[in-house]
Chain A
Amino acid sequence: MNAKVVTISSGKGGVGKTTTSANLAVALAQENQKVVCIDGDIGLRNLDVILGLENRIVYDLVDVVEGRCRIRQAMIRDKRLPELFLIPAAQTRDKSAVSPSDMIRLCEELKDEMDWIIIDSPAGIERGFRNALAPADLVLVVTNPEVSSVRDADRIIGLVEAEEKGPAQLILNRVNPALTKRGDMLSTDDVLELLAIKLIGVIPEDESVIVASNRGQPVSFANNSKAGQAFHNTAKRMLGEEVPFMDIEANNGFINKLAKMMKFRGD
């Protein structure tokens, strides 16, 4: 095995990086992939609660980096999906406890055993983001169809390119079709045109995401929510499948064509 390292980033906080990391990890694991997700948000860990694994933490990322335990010991195996693991962030330390080269070393060690390494990046463009970016083979930028989020995404896309980790791909999250329809929300086409990158997922605004976080059971575990389906479609695209963008994902037929075009140009 030779895992692909995927870093989930955004620039702006609160747009859905942790939600996306958890759901893509679950969706990929359901496709029989071996997946480990790493919480890169040291000091503000959350991936553990979103995945419902918070009670099982013994060691964390900083313990591994500082040699207090082996990687295996810090990997929490999800009992619901035996091929899914989490390496939690430390809660009482800050981002400077880990360096970009620590992250590269860690991922190198994990690569042999895994298909996917998903890194949940913290908001911002400082150390935590640099740590998450360093080992990345692919960067997925999460954005909401909203001005400040799109602007920050553009900064991240530029930084990713400058570090020669590009081209990044886009996940548009919290799309509200009713708002888009009445012209009060940027459409997927608008955002793609502005950011000029390849689209890999469109996730609707969905109450089930909040219910799921209450329960510690990401929406992707079940197939009965629109957001869950959208995450599964995104995971399939990561696996190289051609999955058409579903209705909520597309505001009109044009978008699928556009997505194909971007793909054609993207790689």
Chain B
Amino acid sequence: MDNFLEKLFGKEKKSANTAKERLKLVLIHDRTDITPGQLESLKNEIIDVISKYIHIEPNKVKINMTQEGKEHRLIADIPISSTPNRRK
């Protein structure tokens, strides 16, 4: 949809911007030596562990790596289920 609108208004993303976005991700994976596949397994294991204690929605979990200057961060966003399973 975004792409469609961009094309419609002749505002296709500049290739330099695409290069920069792609490089950002590639460099983070290179530097931390973690492949996108490994990040996916990491996510699945985290989901398993957390699910033992809290009700979460596995398909809404997001795990990303970010960079700011020389600092790298693993950011996890794990929404808790809206129908908490309260213990009696």
List chain A positions with a Cβ less than 8 A from chain B.
146-147, 150-151, 154-155, 158, 180, 182-187, 190, 193-194, 196
Q: Is the interface of A mostly helix, strand, loop or mixed?
A: helix
Contact with B30, one of A146, A154, A190, A193 (Cβ below 8 angstroms): A154
Measured between alpha carbons, how far is A151 from B27 in the docked complex, in Å? 7
Query: How many A-B contacts at CB < 8 Å in the complex?
Result: 40
> Which residue of the partner chain B has the closest CB to A161?
B70
> Which residue of the partner chain A has the closest CB to B24?
A194
User: Once the chains bind, are A183 and B17 in contact (CB under 8 Å)?
Assistant: yes
Measured between alpha carbons, how far is A150 from B30 in the docked complex, in Å? 12
Measured between alpha carbons, how far is A150 from B19 in the docked complex, in Å? 10
A198: min CB distance to chain B, Å:
12
User: Once the chains bind, are B15 and A147 in contact (CB under 8 Å)?
Assistant: no
Given contact pairs A147-B22, A196-B69, A154 touches B16 in the complex (Cβ within 8 A):
no
B24: min CB distance to chain A, Å:
7
> Which residue of the partner chain B has the closest CB to A180?
B16
Q: Is the interface of B mostly helix, strand, loop or mixed?
A: helix
Given contact pairs A196-B69, A196-B70, A151 touches B16 in the complex (Cβ within 8 A):
no
User: Once the chains bind, are B23 and A194 in contact (CB under 8 Å)?
Assistant: yes
Given contact pairs A186-B19, A186-B20, A190-B20, A151 touches B14 in the complex (Cβ within 8 A):
no
List chain B positions with a Cβ less than 8 A from chain A.
14-17, 19-20, 22-24, 26-27, 30-31, 69-70
User: Once the chains bind, are A190 and B16 in contact (CB under 8 Å)?
Assistant: yes
A42: min CB distance to chain B, Å:
28
User: Once the chains bind, are A194 and B69 in contact (CB under 8 Å)?
Assistant: no
Measured between alpha carbons, how far is A65 from B24 in the docked complex, in Å? 42
A sample of 7 more A-B contacts (CB under 8 A), given A184-B14, A193-B20, A194-B27, is: A147-B26, A151-B26, A151-B30, A154-B30, A184-B16, A186-B16, A190-B19
B residues less than 8 Å from A158 (CB atoms): 31
A residues less than 8 Å from B17 (CB atoms): 183
